Amino acid sequence: MHSQAGWLANLARRLRQATAWLLIGLVRLYQVTLSPLLGPRCRYWPSCSRYAVEAIRVHGSFRGGLMAARRIARCHPGCEGGIDPVPGGPSEALCREDPELDENFRPRASDRPAERDGPAS
């Protein structure tokens, strides 16, 4: 019985890895084919395709794929965009280390030109 459980666990792990590999491959295909033709359009950092790859690597194909889909749905001409790192990923760690960003990954108040220089005349 133990060998069957081990075999099933191994199969499930391999299926998760294959699914993640496939999803990342599709994103990479987009990055080398369509993205250069369309030009930079993403309103976020990291870009939606980089976010998708990182989210899948950090959180797996299901949860990471859902995170990527939500991010892509938010990225449109009417959105403000900004810094939106993958929770728990390297991009979030990089943002947390940046002294110019607050805990919500926005420029600190002292770094904003209007607040630093006073009202424009």
Domain boundaries, the chain: 2-116
Write the pLDDT tens digit of every residue in 92-120: 999 999 999 888 888 887 655 555 455 55
Residue 77 has pLDDT above 70, yes or no: yes
Per DSSP, the three-state class of 111 is: helix
8 Å CB contact between 109 and 115 = yes
Which has the higher per-residue pLDDT, 29 or 109?
Answer: 29
* pTM value > 0.85: no
Helix orientation angle between 90-97 and 48-74, rounded to the nearest 10 degrees: 90
Give 98's DSSP letter. Answer: -
What DSSP string runs through 6-60?
HHHHHHHHHHHHHHHHHHHHHHHHHHHTHHHHH-----EES-HHHHHHHHHHHHH
Residue 34 has pLDDT above 80, yes or no: yes
Q: Is the peptide bond before 46 cis (omega within 30 degrees of 0)?
A: yes
